[in-house]
Structure 1
């Protein structure tokens, strides 16, 4: 019995060690540094910033929403609070006018005046409970746009299927839940979007379908030019490849192609435009993307944080900012979201290691 207990303890310790952040394995461009902001955030997903500096983090299977505070100002969260629990896949968090909005599959919830009640958080109120209940692509990244509306995606409830305009789209609504309307169609599952500061246009990542081989189709980086635009799913993938089942009789020219192909199965999730002053000037206006990593590819892809450099709406470079979350086909981390801070550093969430990292830059 003692040997069995010791064996189980050893196994648990080994699993814990595998899941722990292994920052020494990460590579980044010269002058960049990465440190643990907090390693106490199980299933860390989307990140949102409060007006008073609180870092809010949604989770996936943990069913919790966290509030991280750095009271010492040393770049590390010294306090981690659970401000909501028992929720269904509360991946998305968005902050506006003192309130924190949370996605929970079929519902959008709000925690009122949250930064003044971190130790005694309010009961989440329902803002809108009319979204689909399917959990397949049912978790939601959410964000407020320049128009003051909350943008909420509705993923396809499948790998590949045609559900008309009820799924595979991006919607938006007023902060009180009213005025829900469709914004974009043909979007299989976006788990990251942001607005370009200069143009105010919506850019978003989209995950390509599975079971078309290792190298098809690519994940997409898209730009919305007008309301009602259709980006192809399930008929056309990556702007140039008809679906073997649903593409019959369709033409890829009838749909908006991606601005850039990010690679097959990289699982591009959270993305933000970088407007800070800490990173080199070449990063100003770039898009930083968390690539969660493939799950069904014979050789892993993704598992990194990428920078997309732009000239207007044209991609000039697509290069790693953080790489090394997997070695020899074994992953210890999976980036899920990125969030620039006011000082120009960038937070990165990792739902596998249950951590949030802070990326900084110092001129070599």
Structure 2
């Protein structure tokens, strides 16, 4: 583990207002967060991105720009109230704080908060502290905004499984204040004796002895979830198994209504497809929770959020926006897009493409892969891309 050189730092917070020409005459609020120089600070204001923004197709009056370049392997994002964006990585092993210092709508600075961690994909921010999920442990950077120059962490829990197959984790805090942590299946398809595999767990990080409990079962590999702001129910994406052909099974969007539910893996996929290896052991499909929506085979839906901002047109309010990372072994690639769905109670419907173009369909080559989506305070949408090493920002203006 590398520890970063200590430097003193004084943090100043300023709020700058930017006017966006929205049809509703709304004014969106852009945030700035100014920081002095320190050893782990990098200027990325002039960083170049190898991207093809002119190929990204969005609905009318939407625009996409590069918000931050030089963020290698950018994966899950979490945002502080001040607009500081924390970014995990999977292959890079680093965790970043990415900052728009002058409030111009583009990031100027990144702080390297940690290096050489084991697949620190997951990041979550709560009560001033940054939580990071590695394969087998959860770590915490206390009072992180006042310690960007000298980040140190403590171990919250270090007894998650060490298997790296589906070992990277997406994490977030639920409305109950608990930290939710998935534990993927340690394989493509297998039946594990340890109930913690193929689950989503949760823990009270403020208890004297934080210990995960298995919240739900039968989840092959979830790398994205959020809570419906209307009902408080949890929704999550799940990546379907491989090696059953190009079009089977569908990846899933699932809806949790109570603890202890089982979503089918490894016995049933997409609600109705019996697994050829383990299906006979699992009983009828009716014993399991069927997906609320089928996402397409091998599209790898990852980060998802309920849009709550006011920048986008009103029809986007409460829609789920999902990043589909894209297939890795399908004969014709699928995914590499953002989609949106309507959620009404327990029903998800009307999936539509929101952003496309990271995949050249004719050449079957991708130049980018969306991973996570997060909403800035002004209602614009950030999209991380682990292939291009950037974070995009999507804005809307009717003019």
The TM-score, its normalising length taken from structure 1, stands at 0.93
Q: Which residue in 2 is equivalent to 1:212?
A: 244
1:70 aligns with 2:100: yes
Residue 183, structure 1, aligned to residue 212, structure 2: no
What are the Cα deviations for residues 57-84 of structure 1, in whole angstroms up to 9, with x where unaligned?
A: 0001110001111111111000111111
Q: Does 1:356 align with 2:391?
A: yes
**2:50 alignment partner in structure 1:** 20
Q: Which residue of 2 aligns with 1:261?
A: 294
SS in 2 for 1:282: helix
Whole-Å separation in 2 of the counterparts to 1:28 and 1:143: 28
Between the aligned partners of 2:270 and 2:177, the Cα distance in structure 1 is 30
**2:221 is aligned with 1:192:** no
Q: Which residue of 2 aligns with 1:333?
A: 368
After TM superposition, list the pairs within 5 Å mapping 1:1-364 onto structure 2: 20-121=50-151, 123-164=152-193, 165-176=195-206, 178-249=210-281, 250-327=283-360, 328-364=363-399
Equivalent-residue separation in structure 1 for 2:71 and 2:242 (angstroms): 29
* CA shift for structure 1 position 316: 3.2
Deviation at 1:308, TM superposition (A): 1.0
User: What is the CA deviation profile of residues 95-114 of structure 1, one whole-angstrom value per residue up to 9, with x for unaligned ones?
Assistant: 01110000010010011111
CA distance in 2, matches of 1:102, 1:178: 15
What is the aligned partner in structure 1 of residue 46 from structure 2? none
SS of residue paired to 1:166: coil
CA distance in 2, matches of 1:166, 1:104: 16
TM-score normalised by L of structure 2 = 0.85
Deviation at 1:312, TM superposition (A): 2.9
Whether the aligned pair in 2 keeps the contact of 1:21 and 1:39 (CA below 8 Å) is no
Q: Paired residues, what number?
A: 346
Q: Return the offset for 1:179.
A: 4.0
SS of alignment partner, residue 286 of structure 2: helix
- Residue 34 of structure 2 corresponds to which residue in structure 1? none
**For structure 1, which runs of at least 5 residues remain unmatched after alignment?**
1-18
- Please say if residues 52 and 115 of structure 1, whose CA atoms lie closer than 8 Å, have aligned partners that are also in contact: no
Give, in whole Å, the separation in 2 of the partners of 1:231 and 1:137: 17
How big is the shift at 1:314? 1.9
Secondary structure class of the residue paired with 1:248 = helix
Q: Tell me the alpha carbon deviations over residues 27-74 of structure 1, each in whole angstroms, 9 at most, x when there is no partner.
A: 010011000011110000000001321000000111000111111111
Report SS of the residue matched to 1:115. helix
- 2:287, 2:347 → 1: CA distance? 21
**Residues in 1 aligned to 2:158 and 2:140: alpha-carbon distance in whole angstroms:** 12
Aligned structure 1 segments of 4 or more residues deviating by more than 6 angstroms = none
Give the SS at the match of 2:145.
Answer: helix
Partners of 2:120 and 2:210 in 1: CA distance: 21
CA contact (8 A) 1:282 1:309 kept: no
**Deviation sequence 1:165-219 (CA, Å, 0-9, x none):** 1300000001236142111000000000000001111100000000000000000
Partners of 2:349 and 2:168 lie apart in 1 by: 32
Distance 1:208 1:95 in 2: 29
* Rounded Cα–Cα distance in structure 1 between residues aligned with 2:334 and 2:185: 23
- Please say if residues 51 and 98 of structure 1, whose CA atoms lie closer than 8 Å, have aligned partners that are also in contact: no
The answer on whether the counterparts of 1:25 and 1:325 sit within 8 Å (CA) in structure 2 is yes
Residues 279-324 of structure 1 deviation map (CA, whole Å, 9 limit, x = unaligned) = 1111111101010000000001000111112233322311111101
Q: d(CA) in 1 for partners of 2:122 and 2:57? A: 28
Show CA shifts across 1:237-268 (max 9, x none).
00011100100152111100000000000000
Match of 1:6 in 2: none
Which is worse superposed, 20-29 or 215-224? Answer: 20-29
More helix by share: 1
